[in-house]
Structure 1
């Protein structure tokens, strides 16, 4: 496996070496490139690794604007590198830069706190070039606005309405991502940076560059409520979501011969341009501040992760929408909320009562939805079309998880209740075969099992059904026991009377007791023939009295506690001891009588 990874790693190292170049010179490396259809983007891992390797806080400076407006030349001037060594500069009608490129050697400047800050310069493909879709330009603009600490909008003349409209999707996306639904202390997903409107024009009609830009961004009167004007005003008003402030800067044309600029040094360029260029470089570095994401300083690694995530979100649909991108950022949060809901159930022991299960579900649902609302990215539902979709999806996923939990609770309840029911049914079967049959014992021990074993274990949805089954088993088994009980008691009384007749006639020879046994025997044998059935006999008063006497003898504190056999054994032992002692005394009395006779 190590051998298989060696070749890709060597190729990646070679590519990185090519991007980084020698020393601090640096090179331009692609970070994002267009796919073949020129409608979507793809991440280039060589440039991404360059960004990822930057340690400490970063401040991306991104230049956007129309194609062939001098963006790449401007960046080379700010970096003080030649066109051959810096970003590619073209002189044809086709755009030279494709996608987004990064300069591999960031300029390190100190922050106000004295911390080193890496200012990363990025060039972008110009909009309105041939062979591209509008959605492609939207993707480039949106990514540039989201990741930049300083966004330079390079315009060859003045700020046109179409130039502002080009920012509409980036503004809508910022409106979705820069707003949170949490409390006022919530950090924005991505803190907006600064924006520089760079106007390359010599004549502004007596106005300063800042005045000209301010006029272009001012609200337009709309007395007739024109929808197009409303849209323009909304975009202008929302520019603060893309940038904390908008700074205008005028830049004189460097030379009349634009095609030969790359071969000219500062001495050959317009002196005003050289001074303005130096001031612009200072302005950019002053405006460059560490990029923040969720209140945390963004490093090169986090910037690379953001680029990957935004490109993936922008590519989810053929025509990207704010809702789909916001949802993409919230998808990970959605999964965490679902995991949070599921994890809360680990402390809940199944089975449980359905009401308790529903109460826990409501508690866990409230916690998960509260966590989502506190940490989700996106503006309010009034600002983002379909902003409630992901929340509804979260509710559906949680409801699905709750359905699974209810099913698990039902199965566990059935398992536990069936086990407890079987145990009580086994108790009924054991009581059927007791040596000394007792209705009271049969009833008490079953009720104990029903209350303690079944009632203590069986809860949940299966309770009522299994309880009814257990009661049905009780009715069936008790009816069978009662018939067998009466038959066994009757037969036992007949056998006892016969045993009494034999004992009192041949062993003890007690005639009154023998006669009583005969009377009882004749009664027991004759009474069933007098009545219509044994069932009628068992319903008679004398039989009920007999049962009461038997129940007292068979199930009392002595027999219940297990002392009956021990007491009987003790009485028998004492009787045997007394009998032996009496037998020993008789020979002694006979010897004494013989002595007296002599």
Structure 2
């Protein structure tokens, strides 16, 4: 070994190499033990010891320390490059989802299904465009965009349900108002087709204008049947009344 060299040529510790792990230093080749201790001193002089809580770690303690670090990393307790990217993209995802929600929340439900679908597509496009501009990391971006699509789908389904509910609620209210109006026209002491037509026209116009959304088709059918039956009933009553007074 040269004086200025850190290279070591370690001799064979023992001829029975398969039993080395079970041997004490006194059973090993003396030159090997000497060179090994010299190597430890050289390595110790070159590297800086690892201090944890003010104490140096030996080999076993350092291994235990690394295991703790890995466990903490796996649990997400220590930020890694990947976890930081995920946190960054998660914040962007939340902003994009907020943009989408605000767009749909600007609607005053109920609205026609086609209009809700149109606003959904516009808002969805804006949210994804914002994500494309701000996301970080190709691999994590793929996962985040899938998450964004999933969240947007959930929000859209909730708006579809809310639109259905509000549409049914509004159409039912207008349908009931028309029923009450027609029932009132049926009990007029002097039936007048002109009054009936005027009342029917006003009621039908209000219903057509205000009953909107996914429930409209269903209530249009109910309204048509109700109007037809009321018209027949009123016409027959008007004819009977006219005959009884000699008109």
Give TM-score, length-normalised by structure 2. 0.70
1:240-389 alignment to 2 at 5 Å?
Answer: 314-316=73-75, 325-378=84-137, 380=138, 384=139, 387-389=141-143
Matching residue of 1:93:
58
Matches within 5 A, 1:21-420: 69-70=47-48, 88=54, 90=56, 93-94=58-59, 129-133=62-66, 136=69, 314-316=73-75, 325-378=84-137, 380=138, 384=139, 387-420=141-174
By percentage of residues, which structure has more helix? 2
Deviation at 1:343, TM superposition (A): 2.4
Number of the residue aligned with 1:470: 223
Which sections of structure 1, spanning at least 5 residues, go unmatched? 1-65, 74-86, 97-128, 140-310, 494-545, 547-598
Counterpart contact for 1:316–1:324, Cα < 8 Å? no
2:217 corresponds to 1:458: no
Q: 1:315 to 1:93 in 2, by over 3 A?
A: closer
CA contact (8 A) 2:135 2:141 kept: no
Q: Would you identify which runs of 4 or more consecutive aligned residues in structure 1 move more than 3 Å?
A: 87-90, 132-137, 314-318, 320-325
Superposed CA offset, 1:475-517 (max 9, x none): 1211211111111110011xxxxxxxxxxxxxxxxxxxxxxxx
Q: CA RMSD in A?
A: 3.3
- Deviation, 1:330, is 1.9
The CA deviation string for residues 46-90 of structure 1, in whole angstroms up to 9 with x for no partner, is xxxxxxxxxxxxxxxxxxxx9x822779xxxxxxxxxxxxx9463
Q: CA 1:491 to 1:345, structure 2 compared with 1: closer, same or farther past 3 Å?
A: same
| 1:456 CA drift (Å) | 1.7
| Shift in CA distance, 343/315, structure 1 to aligned 2, threshold 3 Å | farther
2: CA distance, partners of 1:438 / 1:95: 104
Contact 2:103 / 2:119 at 8 angstroms: preserved in 1? no
Say which structure is richer in strand.
Answer: 1
State whether residues 110 and 166 of structure 2, in contact with CA within 8 Å, keep that contact through their aligned partners in structure 1. Answer: yes
Equivalents in 1 of 2:217, 2:153: separation in Å? 25
Aligned-pair CA distance for 1:334: 1.9
Structure 1 residue 423, shift from structure 2 partner = 1.1
- Cα 1:325–1:334, aligned 2, differ >3 Å: closer, same or farther? same
| TM-score, with length taken from structure 1 | 0.31
* Residues 413 and 459, structure 1, Cα contact 8 Å, conserved in 2: yes
Deviation string 1:179-231 (CA, Å, 9 cap, x unpaired) is xxxxxxxxxxxxxxxxxxxxxxxxxxxxxxxxxxxxxxxxxxxxxxxxxxxxx
Aligned 8 A contact 1:323 1:387 in 2: no
- In structure 1, what is the equivalent of residue 233 of structure 2? 480
- Note closer, same or farther for the CA distance 1:316–1:344 as it changes in structure 2 (3 Å cut): farther
How many residues end up aligned between the 2 structures? 202
Q: Give structure 2 stretches of 5+ with no counterpart.
A: 1-43
Whose RCO is larger (CA < 8 A, sep 6+)? 2
Structure 1 distance, partners of 2:127, 2:80, is 27
Shift of 1:95: 8.5
